[in-house]
Chains A and B, each alone.
Chain A
């Protein structure tokens, strides 16, 4: 077999025997019930992928991935037990059922525990066009990754080294079934191309990356775009300076602004709310963003990166608004956290699905820079200095100093600090260059009143 010319199979049957898996999960549920489980749920995940990395125009690594695992949760008198295995033989499945039931003897009754209410489960499973397998041979993958890195290396003579370019293609299958009679599964795909190069001058080396990611291979950015943008970013980082410690307005570019909205989502997620680990406790009906902002969820976008027909509890997902004109109208809840908080389930077990920040006032990125005048543009954040209980925020950053709405020089080795609650309320404007590469999508955001620590 000449594997170099071999492509990942693109028919679903090569990834997973759907009929067999459906039968298997039903058997596992039946076994669990027979042995005393009052409720049970089973999740099966299977994936296969190909990852090719090149560095300095030579093949660095070729990886074939193939995984499968089954996870079972049982409830006996509202006591919960969970067991997982990668071995799907009948003997192993029997042991897994036994193991979950054994654990449920030692956990304690939790009145909020159990499956989602039957009425909330997805009645039909829309085809969201998430599965776009890529008929890609190893040789083609190598050629694409090499082309991408070539564009980066040829961009400028100051691009002196490379951490390489990587192409990744993955197919996944997700199946969920529970003892309320729900069974639903769907395949999906994900493809990505990234490039990391190193620029050097007398002052030292700087690295930068660029990536593209999509469920549909034909929607990926070109190798040229990824390669040249990685190179131009690395070049623009050279001769970065430290700036003085000061209060200054900050623009987070679209890529880093995503993390701010991510922190907002974490702070309004059920798990943090019922544990009282959030700076946004009891904030329903209150302003969490300025009035010009809406935050919406669109789980059924065709081929969307965060799309899902149902959540990890089997609950139907639906389009909804989380923040309307700055006011928080809904939390992010699973069956369990909804019961703990005495609120309605929002179909968010496992997280949010295509969250988008929208602003009533729209401007280009250049206009956003103009509106700030002088201040800091942050393009990279480092470290974990975010306390979601208090909202205290302090992270390493690098970016550019802006004057008269124009980039003056690259900035590094500084921190940006504030309190998230205030930072979110102090969002001034958003630009229209939305970064669509993630489950959370936003443009660049201008925030007033943060502290920069430097020299």
Chain B
């Protein structure tokens, strides 16, 4: 069976809904001043196991399913949803959604066209079934034991394993039918180390749109444990971070959260249609140093931020946002693309059937440059080398953004010296992008643990970058 058949089987068949019912509901949704609309059927099965204090402490399972109904009239959007996938609830939600246009008469749609088959970027099998419960808890125990063996100073280990299996079916008033089946797994390790009364923490993890055996191959799971312990031990030696403007070298991979905050959000179509973004009306202009080419790519196989199709049924793509410093494209969903007379880029995403879709990132990263990473560090007389980060956030209107380092070192006379405590870095998106004066040849993507929040909705994303130098950035330490 293809994905569409599978999704229909999982979402429509249990409640006896047929294509005829969907045609009728689409007819009810259309008409009057309603331009378009869609139904988003979704079921998500998820589970989580947590090991703490050396025992498997928590096991949980959840099932969430429903259908969201959206009606669009010009710039107006009406939305309602039901967590019962049954015809009466669906029709009621449809009536509510179309109140946006106060329309009385109904319309009709032409025959259904199935979206062109897109090659799936991940397996359609349920990751929850990919490992027995016994093997899942065994995996957690191994990670715990490994972390404790790494160093005698390890005093706490928390390991969590989670997985979800999502079926979605999208039907819209243009008569398109599309479906996706999405696995997602994640393993994370948090450790505390203690020495002479001082305690510090470290964390690491990874995952993607794969099955659980991802963690047992290439020793990934124990690799996370080792990495978490290494970070915590580094932090045991950390001294106070410096405060003020200085050159900052950002390591490869996860520090790409810089791009997510400094440019990614500001290039989302909704903010640019509303002209509330610092990047509004700057298409074709220089918004970063000419060393910078930034892309958003939802088509990377198996990655956490990837999607075969977005939540409006549009296939994802590789979108060049900034090319050699020039602003080239925004990230678009169908609604904002239409209003801006641009093409959708497959970035219409939503947290669930109970949320409206809008433009979101997938995997956002900077392409590699020519510099050797060690040369970049060697070029700095006095500055900061930051290699791991917690989260970040941005004010897309003023362009100000922050991101917080969780592992960083001083650079003194071109050499990485002592580790410093975590500090928040703050800057203005376009201004900081102009300050990128060296880009390394060592592009890395993150390990698959990122989530992005926007207007109360959380979706999985990826980031990445090569080593790069920001000539001047404000570092929020405590030492003058």
Contact = CB atoms under 8 A, between A and B. Distances in A.
Contact of A110 (B57, B390, B425): B57
A99 B134 CA distance: 15
Interface string A87-125: 100001001100110111111111001000000000000
Interface stretch (B96-104, B211-219, B364-372): B96-104
B428 to A, nearest CB: 6
Interface in A30-46: none
Contacts of B241: 394, 417
B36 interface: no
B389 to A, nearest CB: 10
A417 B476 contact: yes
Nearest to A412: B400
Q: How large is the interface on B (under 10, 10 to 19, 20 to 34, 35 or more residues)?
A: 35 or more
Q: Is the interface of A mostly helix, strand, loop or mixed?
A: strand
B122 interface: no
Interface string A6-39: 1000000000000000000000000000000000
B120 to A, nearest CB: 27
B404 interface: yes
Interface stretch (B59-67, B299-307, B318-326): B59-67
Contact of B398 (A4, A276, A412): A412
Contact of A387 (B64, B422, B474): B422
A395 B52 CA distance: 30
Given A277-B201, A382-B402, A418-B478, A205 B93 contact: no
Contacts of B402: 382-383, 385, 395-396, 415
B423 interface: yes
Contacts of A416: 476
A63 B60 contact: no
B480 interface: yes
B137 interface: yes
A415 B423 contact: yes
Given A67-B354, A382-B395, A394-B424, A198 B79 contact: no
A455 B245 contact: yes
B83 A66 contact: yes
Contacts of A58: 75-76
Contacts of B401: 382
Interface string B222-249: 0000000000000000000101110000
A417 B478 contact: yes
B147 to A, nearest CB: 15
Which of A64, A418, A455 is packed against the most chain B CB atoms within 10 Å? A64
B476 A84 contact: no
Contact of A161 (B57, B200, B276): B276
B337 interface: no
A82 B95 contact: no
A74 B12 CA distance: 32
15 contacts: A6-B99, A55-B274, A61-B79, A69-B64, A86-B83, A103-B60, A107-B49, A107-B59, A198-B397, A205-B398, A275-B158, A383-B393, A385-B402, A389-B199, A394-B404
Given A3-B99, A276-B155, 7 more contacts: A2-B102, A80-B58, A95-B63, A385-B404, A387-B422, A395-B476, A417-B477
Interface of A: 1-4, 6, 55, 58-69, 80-87, 92, 95-96, 99-100, 102-110, 113, 138, 161, 163, 198, 204-207, 237, 242, 245-247, 275-277, 382-385, 387, 389-390, 392, 394-396, 398, 412-419, 451-455
Q: Which 7 A-B pairs have the closest CB atoms?
A: A415-B476, A3-B99, A103-B59, A396-B402, A383-B402, A385-B424, A453-B243
